[in-house]
Every structure is written in C-alpha cells, then in structure tokens.
Amino acid sequence: MVSANLDLSLKGSDYLPSPSVSSPNQQISPITAQINQQDHLEIGGCDVVELVQRFGSPLYILDEETVRLASSQYRESLLRYYPGTSQVIYASKAWCSLAICSLVASEGLGFDVVSGGELYTTLEALERMGLSKQAAQLIYFHGNNKSPAELLYAIENKCTIIVDNWWELETLVKLAEQPIQIMLRLTPGIECHTHEYIRTGSIDSKFGFDPNQLETLFDYVQRQPNLKCVGLHAHIGSQIFERQPHQDLAGVLVGWLAQAKEQGLEVETLNLGGGLGIRYTESDDPPSIVEWVKALSAAVVTACEQLGTSLPRLMVEPGRSLIGTACVTAYTVGSSKEIPKVRTYIAVDGGMSDNPRPITYQSLYRVVLANQMSEEAQFKVTIAGKHCESGDILIKDALLPKTKPGDILVVLATGAYNSSMSSNYNRLPRPAAVLVYQGEANLIMQRETYLDLVRQDILPERLINFT
Ligand code: LLP
C-alpha cells in the first residue's frame, strides 16, 4: 500500500509562482510556470510533457525569462541603491554553457570563471556574439589552484585574475611580461549558516589570503611593476538567507580597502562574491534580490562614511540566485516498489548523475506530476534514481498524486549546480537541455550518446591481440 496522507491537500499548482512575489529566487518554480488546458505543466509557453516527447527524458528545461528577470533585478537594483559604479558578474560554475553564457552576456553581465574550461566556454560564447573585444572587461578568473597554463590563458585574453594565494602571486610575477590586472581574494573570517561544504569565508578555508598577512601582501603587490591590483574580493558561502553576514563582510572589506590605500595601493573595486539563497522548499525564506542588493549597498556606503574613504566600484557575483529556479528537470517514471508499512519507492530514469546535490549535501527538492498538475498530492513516496547506489534518492517522502510508469515527474529549482556537477556514473549519458521562451524551445545541450561515452576511451592494441 502506498501511504495515504489525506490531511495534506497539496497539488502541483501549489508550487506555481505567486503573482505577488517578483524575485525569482523566492519562487520554487520558473516565473513562467503555469498549468495549461491539458492539465499539464507549461514553462516558457511550452508544454513540458510535449517537450519530453520531443527531446527525450531526463530533460533539463531552462526558462529564459526567469534568468533575464533575475539578471535585470541585480543590475537595476545596484544602479538604484548603490551611489557608486557597479558590475554584476555571473558565477558560471552554477551552469556554464555557450547558450547560458550568451544569455547572461546579453543581459549586460560579466563572468566569474574558475577554470580554463569555463574561461574557454565564456570566450567562445562572447566571440560568437561578436563581443570578443569586451572579454577583458567582462571576465574575472577565480580559483585556488590555477595552473600556470590557465594563468597564461587568462593573461593572453587580458582577463582580471583574482589571485588566491602566494604561489599564484609569485607565478604571476614570473609570467607577466606586461602589466596585468589582478584582484586579491581574502579570507574574511565570517561565519554563515549554510552547509559546511559550501561555506568559504571562515578562517579555516582553502580559499584566499590569510588576513593576518595583509600588510606584507599589500607591500609585496605594490612593489610589482607588472601587477596592477584593482580590487579586493571575498566570498563567504552559498545558499545564505541572512543579510547580516554580507553586511559584515562589506564592513570588513571596506576597512581592508582603506588599509590598502594607506599602504599606497590604489584599489578601487570591492567584489563581495555571491551567495544569496533560493527557495527550494516552502521553508526556505531568502531575501529578494532587490532586498539583498539594497542591504549590501547600504552597508558599503555606511562603512565608507565611517572610515571617510571614497566609494569603491561594487561588484557582486551571484550564481544560484540567477539560474537556480529558472530550470526544472523532467523525468519519466519507471518501476516502483512498495514495502508495506515502510515506504514506496518510485524510480525515475535519472538520479545522482544529473542531480548530485541530494547525495552530496542532503539537499531538498520539490516535485510535481507534470501530466496531472491539478490532481491532489495524497501519497507519500520516495523518488529514487536509477543508479546502483542506495543513496541515489532524489527526494525522500515526496507528496504526489498516484503515479504510473510513463508519468512525467518534474523536480523544481534544478538550474544551479545540477548540470554543472553532473557525471556519467554507471555510464548514463548526460541529459539534454532546452531553453524555452514564449512557446519556442531550443536545444542548448545535446543528449549524450553511448558513442560519447566511449569517445575518450582508448583500447590498446596489446589488449585486443591478447590471447
Ligand atoms: N563567487 C565565488 C568565489 C564562489 O565560490 C561562488 C560559489 C559564487 C561566487 C557563487 O555563489 P552562489 O551565488 O551560487 O551562491 N556546489 C554547491 C555550491 C558551491 C558554490 C561554490 N561557489 C551546491 O550545489 O550547493
């Protein structure tokens, strides 16, 4: 028996966007999500069931309007609430692809990249859009262990390098034949309440310079003719709901900026990182993008007034809150297993390879039955993936209407760190991704094939001929 939970009368429609909430990070589903006449979930004007018939399953479905709205809210609220100049850059680690980079670039945002691969993808997208000349102003290269080859690649393309540690700094001094633009990443020692794996600001972190060495660091940088240090950076963590840690961070960084200036280092930019949380479930209550930007801007202004220092150029680098709720993952229901008085498992055709977040961080998600949106969700079931791993559970105790094989389940808010952390575990080909906008659906990532899976494999002659 599937356990009935009749006192709860949830429906798929309960997760649809609320018209009174304008910030995408405060919705569980994309802003265009609605129910159509067939009682199907529709996103970006496209019927999700039809999308699966056309593009296959599992399928990432990315809503262009949600990404555009979040991007413009970041940009416009900085213009509105911060009296100095500002720039928003997209933390492309959240999801990096040609289409996503060009979508974000078309909204006037820059990029945080953390590897040669992310840098290549971003450069390629900008080149195809005819924006190569702007790349230098748009790309910021992060990372705690950039290789000399990656550093050279960033230097060739005149990107700003966010230097993380002494080894990198010394490598850059050797590599730089002409002045290069850098920023310094500092560990601010600020705690925030989020999963320990995605906390980065505390003193015990692998990222950034130890703030106890600031004086030596600023002195060293100032003496390097080929290093032009334009700013300071810190990032305290991800999926944060409180405003205070970022306000504290603003205060700390403005203080360090003033110290740098006293030591003769004319840094004019403060990059406060990303980290604003999103609503994966009803109990997640993040501030809106506008509220977050407003709080941060006010904190920088206040700190500058207190120290009598001029307003820096302010940068933020959101990832999750730009793309998280813009995407859903559609799966097809297959087998099920009822264990009387224990639980019922419903298995889908993907799992930890396309969404490693539940097994990695115990992350919670909400799910709807896309082909029967108005049906009451009366049954408590556990949504299992198809991997050979007991922990491959997408959602424990999800509420759904009665399901059958072939139904389309849609897991909400899967835009950030799902595709980007996906794998081929058990040699599952990665899903396709489509971008939906006003009734049009464009494939932006092809589904991998079995051929793709063996493309990098090499079978030595010796093994073929072994008898
Ligand atoms: N800037 C830096 C330097 C970062 O390290 C990150 C995220 C961001 C910006 C963007 O943070 P966001 O706005 O997305 O919170 N894989 C984890 C998240 C790791 C975050 C890594 N850094 C997850 O799935 O939750």
pLDDT band at 2 (very low <50, low <70, confident <90, very high): very low
How far apart CA 244 and CA 250 sit, in angstroms, is 10
C-alpha distances out from residue 45 to 32, 51, 102, 151, 211, Å: 7, 11, 21, 43, 50
C-alpha distances out from residue 79 to 85, 267, 369, 454, Å: 8, 21, 40, 49
Q: What does the pLDDT average to over 448-463?
A: 97
Contacts of 429 (CB under 8 A, 6+ apart): 447, 448, 449, 450, 452, 453
pLDDT over 70 percentage in the chain: 96
Minimum CA distance residue for ligand 1 atom 19? 198
Q: Give pLDDT tens digits for 198-248.
A: 556 667 889 999 999 999 999 999 999 999 999 999 999 999 999 999 999
Whether the pLDDT of residue 419 is over 70: the answer is yes
- Strands 408-411 and 327-339 turn out to be antiparallel
Average pLDDT, the chain: 95
Minimum CA distance residue for ligand 1 atom 5? 235
| Ligand 1 centroid to residue 317 C-alpha, Å | 9
Q: Give pLDDT tens digits for 164-174.
A: 999 999 999 99
H/E run at residue 61 = strand 59-63
Q: What does the pLDDT average to over 45-53?
A: 98
| Ligand 1 centroid to residue 274 C-alpha, Å | 7
3-state secondary structure (DSSP) of residue 322? helix
Please give the pLDDT value at position 1: 37
Q: Give pLDDT tens digits for 29-44.
A: 999 999 999 999 999 9
**Does 12-63+324-453 match 82-318 in CATH topology?**
no
pTM for this structure? 0.96
How far apart CA 464 and CA 298 sit, in angstroms, is 68
Burial 269-302 (b: 16+ CB within 10 A, else e): bbbbbbbbbbbbeeebebbbbbbbbbbbbebbbe
> Which amino acid is present at 6?
L
Please give the pLDDT value at position 189: 83
Kindly name the residue from 96, 159, 229, 388 that is annotated as catalytic: 388
Please give the pLDDT value at position 190: 85
Ligand 1: atom nearest CA of 319 is: 14
| Ligand 1 centroid to residue 452 C-alpha, Å | 29
Please give the pLDDT value at position 328: 98
Q: Give pLDDT tens digits for 89-105.
A: 999 999 999 999 999 99
| Ligand 1 centroid to residue 206 C-alpha, Å | 14
C-alpha distances out from residue 151 to 93, 162, 181, Å: 18, 10, 12
Looking from the CA of 184 toward its CB, the CA atoms found within 13 Å total 32
pLDDT band at 266 (very low <50, low <70, confident <90, very high): confident
Please give the pLDDT value at position 205: 85
- Nearest one of 454, 386, 392 to 58, comparing CA atoms: 386
How far apart CA 96 and CA 118 sit, in angstroms, is 7
Tell me how far the alpha carbon of residue 228 is from its chain's centroid. Answer: 29
| Ligand 1 centroid to residue 156 C-alpha, Å | 26
Please calculate the CA angle 238-241-243 and round it to the nearest 5 degrees: 100
Cβ-based neighbour number of residue 72 at 10 Å: 15
Topology of the domain covering 12-63+324-453:
Lyase, Ornithine Decarboxylase; Chain A, domain 1 (2.40.37)
Q: What does the pLDDT average to over 383-406?
A: 97
Ligand 1: atom nearest CA of 418 is: 24
Residues with CB under 6 A from ligand 1: 91, 93-94, 112, 142, 198, 200, 235, 238-239, 273-276, 317-321, 357, 361, 416-417, 421
Whether the pLDDT of residue 3 is over 80: the answer is no
pLDDT band at 151 (very low <50, low <70, confident <90, very high): very high
How far apart CA 190 and CA 361 sit, in angstroms, is 21
User: 388 an active-site residue?
Assistant: yes
- Nearest one of 229, 223, 219 to 263, comparing CA atoms: 219
What is the CATH code for 82-318?
Answer: 3.20.20.10
Looking from the CA of 450 toward its CB, the CA atoms found within 13 Å total 0
pLDDT band at 6 (very low <50, low <70, confident <90, very high): very low
Please give the pLDDT value at position 195: 59
Token duo for residue 193: 């309440």
How far apart CA 438 and CA 77 sit, in angstroms, is 26
Q: What does the pLDDT average to over 262-287?
A: 96
Ordered by start, the domain boundaries in the chain are 12-63+324-453, 82-318
Please give the pLDDT value at position 7: 47
Contacts of 115 (CB under 8 A, 6+ apart): 143, 150
Ligand 1: atom nearest CA of 94 is: 14
